[in-house]
Amino acid sequence: MNKNRNLILEEGSRGEEVSIEGIVVPYELDARFKTTSLLLSTNMELDFVIEHNAVETRLFGHLREPVRVKGFIREGKPGQWLIRVTDYNSLI
């Protein structure tokens, strides 16, 4: 179950690992419309760009599926949140 938005952002700002549920969706596409990066879309009106790492590579196999991820969040560009995923579980 998702914690509320403010609690997740507060924990993340303290450098704590957070757990978030959402759906893995494409974020960026190349010239051939192949997905090159991913976004975790949540029901909290808050989305997280998934940073590139080995776990993110495995998440490409879960496009458009609900997942629960654990990781560390940080603010990127103004209004953008990033998550470095350390683990995930499919919710299907």
d(CA 87, CA 29): 24
**How does residue 3 score in pLDDT terms, banded at 50, 70 and 90?**
low
Q: Are strands 47-50 and 66-75 parallel, antiparallel or unpaired?
A: unpaired
For domain 5-90, is the CATH number 2.40.50.140? yes
Ordered by start, the domain boundaries in the chain are 5-90
pLDDT tens for each residue of 52-80: 999 999 999 999 999 999 999 999 888 89
Query: pTM score, two decimals?
Result: 0.89
pLDDT tens for each residue of 10-59: 888 899 999 999 999 999 999 999 999 999 999 988 999 999 999 999 99
Residue of 14, 20, 6 lying closest to 69 (CA atoms): 20
Residue of 48, 61, 53, 45 lying closest to 19 (CA atoms): 48
What pLDDT score was predicted for residue 50? 97
For residue 37, what are its two tokens? 């990066």
Virtual torsion, Cα 16, 17, 22, 23, nearest 10 deg: 130
d(CA 36, CA 14): 30
